[in-house]
Structure 1
Amino acid sequence: MTTSKSNFEIPEQMREFAEKSVDQARKAFDSFMDATQKAVNTVEGQTNAAQSGSLDMNKKVLDYAEEHVDAAFQLAQKIVRAGDMQEILQLQSEYLKGQMEALGEQARELSESATRTASDVTSKGTDK
């Protein structure tokens, strides 16, 4: 039994086909990775915008609560110093009117802030 070694050569067309296939696979993989990175960046941008807006709104709500508590204490101090029931009713009426105006303004500011946050989140999603 003689063993003969034969030289196996890959035809040039097959070699070119294999090279093209590898190049195409590499390009497809690179495109996939680019799309994945863009998606991750978009989510990060939206998350950051939402978190920033949420923190801003939380701070505003706490500031508003502090203003309302302060106004209530001021009312209590004025009532303690009031001379009669008529003055107490007047103080309470002024307090309620002021609180309703403040609540209206605060609701408007919170609504604007929420709209800005939603717009920021949306624009972060379309910027990428």
Structure 2
Amino acid sequence: MTSSTDPFSASIIPFEVPEQVRAFAEKGVSQARDNYAKFKDVAESHNGTMEAVFTSANKGASAYSAKLFEFFKANTTSSLDFAQDLLSVKTPAAAMELWTSHAKKQFETFSAQAKELAELGQKVATETVEPIKASAAKYQQPAA
């Protein structure tokens, strides 16, 4: 193939970009840089938010687990005490009275424990969501 028929070897005609196109392109690049900087700031901020959420959730889960273990220990001790007391009764009537008393006490205990666990769960959920709420409030746009 000769150079006269090769389209790539032809001389390039000088081309000048009009000033309006150049200004438009420069404005687009400037806006892209600004948007990238904002995106980077938001991403970095949200990384901190996610770390705070996971830290709070982990702390809350530990507190919840500790409370469950505390209840398990207390309920086991109560059941063992009941069994020991039951072995020392002399009459069926005394056994029935002890059984009824223990059942009533356990029902009250379980109810109180369930309420405490529900409150703790609500507290953990609220504390876990707090960093997300704070981050959202920070980036919320005012209404026009």
Q: Which has the higher contact order (CA 8 A, sep 6+)?
A: 1
Query: Unmatched 5+ residue regions in structure 2?
Result: 1-19, 136-144
> Could you tell me which of 81, 96, 112 is aligned with 2:88?
81
- In terms of fraction of residues, the more helix-rich structure is 1
* Separation in structure 1 between the aligned mates of residue 103 and residue 21 of structure 2, nearest angstrom: 87
In the TM superposition, what are the counterparts of 1:9-48 in structure 2 within 5 Å? 23-48=30-55
* Separation in structure 1 between the aligned mates of residue 131 and residue 31 of structure 2, nearest angstrom: 32
The residue number in structure 1 matching 2:106 is 99
* Separation in structure 2 between the aligned mates of residue 45 and residue 125 of structure 1, nearest angstrom: 9
Report sequence identity in percent: 25
TM, length-normalised to structure 2: 0.71
**Pairwise CA RMSD of aligned residues?**
2.3
Query: Unmatched 5+ residue regions in structure 1?
Result: 1-12
The residue number in structure 1 matching 2:119 is 112
> Could you tell me which of 45, 58, 63 is aligned with 2:70?
63
The residue number in structure 2 matching 1:3 is none
* Post-superposition offset of 1:87: 1.1
How many residues align structurally?
119
User: Which secondary structure state, in structure 1, belongs to the residue aligned with residue 90 of structure 2?
Assistant: coil
The residue number in structure 1 matching 2:79 is 72
- Name which of structure 1's ranges 28-37 and 62-71 shifts more when overlaid on structure 2: 28-37
Q: Could you give the per-residue CA deviations for residues 57-89 of structure 1, whole angstroms, max 9, x where no partner exists?
A: 111111111111100110111111111111111
TM, length-normalised to structure 1: 0.79
